[in-house]
């Protein structure tokens, strides 16, 4: 888009040319936002409401003192039977069997709605599309859209920040590894991600601060990059060139309720992470039991954050799944329960609301 503008603007400085170039720029942006819509949702600039909750906090508020609501596997909101069926032809090229959609679906609102409701942290899982051409979103082998690229979706965030310049967004990027029979987190893929994250527009919208979180003021209207990936197939200068905080997958213990991960070794800055996504209940355990285990891990981690660690970064995942169980506990069941007869106290979401209200 910036290239198109540049060409036309240098061709002539006549007012009519300027008018048509900005008209074309607006159409080009709309085109990108339309392509992003299967993941981002249809872009709407709504009245602020909760969309600008960060306005209430002064510029010198340390970001680590804020409670930032986020969504886990954010891009799965549209992954139902119809989406899975419509993507089957292209997903088949990956030569993997994709289980039922309930396995993967962790959300049910598009990004634009999440943003407008106050969500500020997004968990994004990328890999190559089945033709190894562009980076797209996956959850495991479930391809979530073939046409919305990572780059397209970023334009949705950029536009939203222009419309809500008081706000800060946290984007976590993680390479999804089990997307295809033959897939590799190789140099080509890593370079593709790097190029997206250092494009002129990314340099403008991603806060170019590294290895630490600062104050809210400098982060307003910007994105903070959370790097849950390594660029280990590229020269180390590529990693050095990226902003944000690094959470190396090699330090992120799988399915752990209590991870301590040093993200700034010079200053010994530690992030405390609860990512106990699969309760290790005995097989055949009830939905109530699985919800109880997940809620227990979530609650303990939230309480830990109040024990003299107020200046530390905490990531607490409230979502879980136990697809190994019979019957399976889908993410939706852990989050919202399985009907009032089976789970009268609801899921982790309901129990967390009561926990926060009582705090
Ligand atoms: C995509 O890349 C992988 C890893 O290099 C390779 O094995 C696979 O054949 C490629 N797929 C296509 C469709 O080119
Ligand atoms: C680094 O920080 C962690 C967590 O706050 C603490 O347990 C550890 O003792 C610190 N290490 C050093 C060398 O200061
Ligand atoms: C609750 O969580 C803690 C920390 O993860 C664990 O040690 C304990 O066994 C859990 N208790 C139950 C009942 O799940
Ligand atoms: C959820 O409820 C459905 C319908 O009652 C039932 O078939 C399924 O086994 C339940 N799942 C769990 C994990 O309890």
Convert the pLDDT of each residue in 275-324 to its tens digit: 999 999 999 999 999 999 999 999 999 999 999 998 999 999 999 999 99
192-200: which pairs have CB atoms within 8 A and are 24 or more residues apart?
192/128, 192/134, 192/135, 193/126, 193/135, 193/150, 193/229, 193/231, 194/231, 194/234, 194/238, 194/241, 194/242, 196/135, 196/150, 196/151, 196/154, 197/173, 197/225, 197/242, 198/241, 198/242, 199/151, 200/2
Q: Which whole number is the average pLDDT over 204-215?
A: 97
Q: What's the chain's average pLDDT?
A: 94
pLDDT for res 226: 98
**Residue 312 Cα: closest atom of ligand 2:** 5
- How many other CB atoms sit within 10 Å of the CB of residue 65? 12
User: Quick one: CATH architecture of 27-41+53-251?
Assistant: Alpha-Beta Barrel (3.20)
The interaxial angle of helices 15-40 and 150-163, nearest 10 deg, is 110
Name which residue leads in pLDDT, 129 or 51: 129
CA of 33 to the centre of ligand 4 (A): 38
Q: Which whole number is the average pLDDT over 122-146?
A: 97
- Check if 41 has its Cβ closer than 6 Å to any atom of ligand 3: no
CA of 296 to the centre of ligand 3 (A): 6
pLDDT digits (tens, 9 = 90+) for 147-202: 999 999 999 999 999 999 999 999 999 999 999 999 999 999 999 999 999 999 99
Q: What is the dihedral of CA 36, 243, 68, 259, to 10 degrees?
A: 110
pLDDT digits (tens, 9 = 90+) for 242-261: 999 999 999 999 999 999 99
pLDDT for res 47: 79
pLDDT for res 5: 33
H or E segment to which residue 300 belongs: helix 287-304
Distance of alpha carbon 289 from alpha carbon 79, whole angstroms: 26
18 pLDDT band, cuts 50/70/90, is low
CB–CB of 90/146 below 8 Å?
Answer: yes
CA of 81 to the centre of ligand 4 (A): 18
Question: What residue spans in the chain does CATH classification 3.20.20.190 cover?
Answer: 27-41+53-251
């Amino acid at each position: 888009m910036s290239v198109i503008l540049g060409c036309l603007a240098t061709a002539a400085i006549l007012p009519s040319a300027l008018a048509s170039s900005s008209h074309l720029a607006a159409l080009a942006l709309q085109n990108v936002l339309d392509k992003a819509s299967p993941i981002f949702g249809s872009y709407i600039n709504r009245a602020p409401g909760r969309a600008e909750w960060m306005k209430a906090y002064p510029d010198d508020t340390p970001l680590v003192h804020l409670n930032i609501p986020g969504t886990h596997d954010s891009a799965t909101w549209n992954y139902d039977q119809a989406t899975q069926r419509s993507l089957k032809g292209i997903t088949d090229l990956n030569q993997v069997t994709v289980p039922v959609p309930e396995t993967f679906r962790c959300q049910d609102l598009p990004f634009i709605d999440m943003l407008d409701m106050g969500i500020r942290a997004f968990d994004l899982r990328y890999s190559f599309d089945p033709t190894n051409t562009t980076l797209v979103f996956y959850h495991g082998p479930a391809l979530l859209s073939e046409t919305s690229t990572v780059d397209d979706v970023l334009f949705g965030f950029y536009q939203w920040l222009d419309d809500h310049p008081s706000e800060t967004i946290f984007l976590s990027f993680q390479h999804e590894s089990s997307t295809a029979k033959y897939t590799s987190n190789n140099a080509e893929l890593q370079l593709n991600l790097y190029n997206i994250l250092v494009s002129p527009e990314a340099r403008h919208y991603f806060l170019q601060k590294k290895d630490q979180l600062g104050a809210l003021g400098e982060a307003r209207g910007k994105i903070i990059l959370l790097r849950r990936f390594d660029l280990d197939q590229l020269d180390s200068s590529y990693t050095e060139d990226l902003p944000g905080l690094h959470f190396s997958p090699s330090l992120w213990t799988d399915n752990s309720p209590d991870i301590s991960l040093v993200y700034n070794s010079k200053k010994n800055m530690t992030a405390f992470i609860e990512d106990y996504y699969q309760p290790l209940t005995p097989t055949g355990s009830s939905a109530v039991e699985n919800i109880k285990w997940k809620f227990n891990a979530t609650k303990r981690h939230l309480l830990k954050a109040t024990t003299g660690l107020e200046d530390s970064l905490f990531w607490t995942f409230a979502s879980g799944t136990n697809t190994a169980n019979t019957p399976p506990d889908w993410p939706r069941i852990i989050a919202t329960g399985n009907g009032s007869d089976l789970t009268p106290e609801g899921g982790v979401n309901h129990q967390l609301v009561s926990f926060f209200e009582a705090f």
